[in-house]
Chains A and B, each alone.
Chain A
Amino acid sequence: MDIRRHRLENGLRVAAIPIAGLQSAAVLLAIEAGQWFEPIGRPGIARLCALAMLRGTITRDAKAWADALDGIGAAARLDVGSHAATFSAQSLGSDLDVLLELMADAVVRPAFAATEVELVREQTVAQIDDDAKNTRAVAERAWRELVYPKGHPFRARPIGDLDVVRAASADDLRDHHRRAIRPDGAVLVVAGGVEAQQVFDAAAKSFSSWRGGGSREERKVPDLRLTTAVRKVDVVPDKTQSDVVLGWPGLPRTDPRFVAARVTNMVFAADTFASRVGHVVRDELGLAYYVFSTLGGSRGQSPWVVRMGVNPINVERAVSTTLEELRKIVDGKVAEDDLELAQDKLVGELDVARESPAGVASLMLEGEVFELGPDYAERYPRELRAVTLEQVVEIARTFLQPDRYALAIAGPPLPERD
C-alpha cells in the first residue's frame, strides 16, 4: 500500500492511501472525543455532542447540511466509542473536497441550536427506553456496572445515563465540543480513488481553521482487576433467548502486550471457527447461534468480553464450557496449531480487508490514532506472527482469570441452579 502522510499546522494528521481503479473514497476522521475524554461522571455527553454536530452548523441549518450531503450522494455517520468519535464517510473520489468541507463544517462550526439539541436528546431518551427491553443492551449495561466503578469512563455504554442525557444543556455540549473536538490527536484517513495531493489540499482547505480550546487534561484512571467472580441476571419479559456477556477489563492499546492479547483473544473466542470457544460451544455442543469475543482498543481498559445468545436452559453450560476452554489456555494446554490458526486468521484478514476502500482506511486507522509508527502497517503482521505460546498463556493468566470474571445475563427467567 502506498501511504502518504501530512500534518496540518493545527496538529491534524492526514493519511492518504490512493488505490488505482476505484471510483470512490472512504474517509475516517477519528477525534479523541470518545468516552475516555468525556467529563467525569457525565456519561452520554460525548455522544449527544456528536449527534448534535450533525444537526446544523453556524453556516447551514440541519436541512441545508443534509441536502448538501445527499446532494453528492455521500454515505456518512458519526459514532462515539470508548476512545474516539469517528466520522466515517464515503463519496465519489471527485466529490472528496465537498465531502470534507461538509464534515469540517459539522465538526468545527456546529450551531447546537436549542431545538436541535432537544431533538437529539429526545431521540436518545427514546433509545435508552428501548434498550431497557433489549437483552443485548441490558446485559452490556449490567456487565459494565459489575466491572467499572462509579466515575470510570467505561462504566456506562456510550449512549450514556438517562439522568445525564435528560439534564444536558446546549452549553454542556458546547463546552465538551470546545475541550474535546480538537485537531491535536485527531486523524483523517482517506483511501480509494483519489490522489494523495488532492487529499492533502482538500484537508488543508477544510480543516486548517480548526482550533482546540486550551490544553487537554490527562485522564488518570486507576488500574482495575477483578478480585472474584461476580454475576448479575436481569429478567427481560417476553424474550425467548438469553444474551450473555462474560468478561474482564482489558488493557490499553498502547500497552506493549496488546498485540499478544489480540492473538490470545483469537485463540480463545474471537471467531466462531478459528477460536476454541466457538468450536466447542457452537460447533460441538450446539449451545449457541452466536458466540464471539472482542477486545477493545483505547487508552484505558476497554471491555474484553465474550458475547453469546443462548437458550436459558443452556446458559450455565455455555458459560462453564467457555470457562473450561479458558482454563485450558491458562493451564498452558494450548496446541501449537491453535496459535498458528489464530495468527493465520489475523494476518490473512489484513490482506482480505484490502478489497475495499473502507477496509483499507480501517486498517490504517488504529496505527495512526495510537501513533504506532509510520511502519506500523508493515510491522504489524510480523508482530502477530512473533507472538509465542508462552505469551498467550501469560496474557490469559494476567487478564483472563477463569475464577475472577464478571457475568451478566439478560433474557427470560433462568432455570433454578443446582
Chain B
Amino acid sequence: MHALEARHAPVVSLWVWYQVGGRNEVPGTTGMSHFLEHMLFKGTPRHPKGDLDKLLARYGALWNAFTSEDVTCYFETVPAERYPVALELEADRMRNALITEEETQAERNVIVSEREGLENDPSFLLGEQLQAVAFSRHPYAQGVIGSKEEIKLMTRDGLYAHYRRHYAPNNAYFIVAGDAPATELLDRAAAAFGPLDAEAPIEPPKAPEPPQYGERRVIVRRAGGALPIIQVGHKAPRAADPRAPALSALAVTLAGATAGGGEAASGRSSRLYRALVDTGLATTVEASFQLMKDPYLFVVEAHLRPGVTHDRVERVILDELEKVARSALTDSEFGRVRRQMLSASAFMTDTITWRAWRFGQLLATGAAASLGEWYDRLAAVTAEDVRAAAESVFQEKGRTVGWFVPEQS
C-alpha cells in the first residue's frame, strides 16, 4: 500500500491494481480477466447490485475500471470525506463479489457489445492482428478483450475461480493520493484491507517470447474504413529495463508527448509529424512505448491520406527510425523533447487521479519505485541515450508491419 499527499483540492483518489490481465490467460479463456472486471460491479452480500453505483454517483465520483494485458484496475476519485466509504467498497469486493449465473449471462451481452463497438474501429482490428502476429508464444498475442466466441463460452464457475485465485491482498497494489496526511490515508487503508485473507502466491506466466528472426507482416482488408492505416511494431524491452526512460523520450521525439488529430497543436515539431503530416502523406501519426511487465512493442501508427500508398509511408517511417538510431538529436531538438516529456509528467501529477494512476503503473510494471525516481530517470536521459535506445529496438528482426487496406463497399 502506498499513499501520496495531494493537498490542492478536497479530493482523494484510490486505486487497486490486481496483478492479473490478458497475460495470465490461456487460449480458450482469453478475455476472462476483462469479463471478471465487469462482474465486480454486480454486488456483494453487503452491497447488493446497484449499491456501489448509486453511492459513488451520489458523491459525484469519477470512477471506473480497466483491464490491460498486465493488470486489472479499479479506481474511485471522491470528495475527501467519502474516502472511507470508497475504501470499504473496494475492500469488500476484493473478496466478496457475488458473480451469479444470472448476472454473468446479462453481462455477457454487454461485453459482446463492447467487443462489437471495438470491431467497428479499423485501428483496433489492425492492432489486434499486429499483436497476434508479433507474439508467437507470449500471451500478449491474445490481447485483452478476447474473441466473441470465447466471451460467449465464459462460464460463471470459471470466472469465480479466476476471481478467487487472483483477487487477494497479496496480489494487488493499493495506491491512494489525496487531501489528507499520507499516514492517515494509509492507516485507513490498512484497517480496510488488513483483515482480508491472502491467497497462495501466484507464479508469473511462463511463456517467454522466443527470439524473432525476421520481419513479420499482416494485412487487414475491410470496407469499414476509408483511410489506409499502417502500424509498425518493434519488439521493445519491459518497463523495468534501464532503457525504458530513453524509449519514452524516443516516442516523444518521433510523435510528441500528446496525441490528437488536426485540432492538436502540440507535438508538431516531432520527426514523424514533420515527415508525414506536414508533407501531406498522413492525417495523423502516433508513436508509443508502453510500460509493460514483459517485453512488448514500440508502435508507430499513421493514418494515410487518400491515394497515398502504404509502401511510400512505410518507407518514410522506416527511414526516420533509421535516422534517429544513427545520429543523436541536436541540442535544440533534444531540448524540446526533454521539455515535453518533463512537462507532461508535471501535468499528470497535477491531477490527483492521474498522480495515483501513474504511481500505480510504475509499481505494477516494475518501472520505478516512486514518482520521484521515475522523474529523475526521465530527467537524466541524454540525446545519446535516445539514439542508443532507438538503435537497440529498431531492428528488422524484431519488426512487425501491419496494413489496413480499405476495400470498396
Contacts and interface: CB of A to CB of B under 8 A. Distances in A.
B235 to A, nearest CB: 29
B373 interface: no
Contacts of A214: none
Contact of A344 (B10, B60, B283): B60
B339 interface: yes
Contacts of A20: 8
Interface in A279-296: 279, 282-290
A343 to B, nearest CB: 9
A345 interface: yes
B119 A240 contact: yes
Given A240-B116, A274-B54, A286-B110, A344 B262 contact: no
B353 A355 contact: yes
A115 to B, nearest CB: 10
Interface residues of A, number: 86
A257 interface: no
Given A67-B336, A75-B266, A348-B58, A286 B225 contact: no
Given A70-B268, A73-B343, A241-B113, A271 B60 contact: no
Contacts of A282: 110
B336 A71 contact: yes
Interface stretch (A119-127, A161-169, A194-202, A372-380): A119-127
B267 to A, nearest CB: 7
B226 A344 contact: no
A354 B350 CA distance: 11
Interface string A183-196: 00000000011000
B98 interface: no
Contacts of A285: 106
Contact of A75 (B117, B257, B270, B352): B257
Interface in A108-146: 119-120, 122-127, 129-130, 132-135
A347 B60 contact: yes
A258 interface: no
A124 B11 contact: no
Interface in B214-243: 222-227
19 contacts: A70-B269, A73-B342, A75-B343, A92-B346, A127-B262, A130-B225, A133-B409, A236-B224, A238-B223, A282-B110, A287-B113, A290-B117, A309-B113, A311-B116, A314-B109, A344-B57, A352-B77, A355-B62, A355-B351
Given A127-B283, A239-B224, A286-B107, 13 more contacts: A63-B269, A71-B335, A73-B341, A193-B350, A282-B110, A284-B106, A285-B106, A311-B116, A349-B60, A349-B62, A352-B59, A352-B79, A355-B77
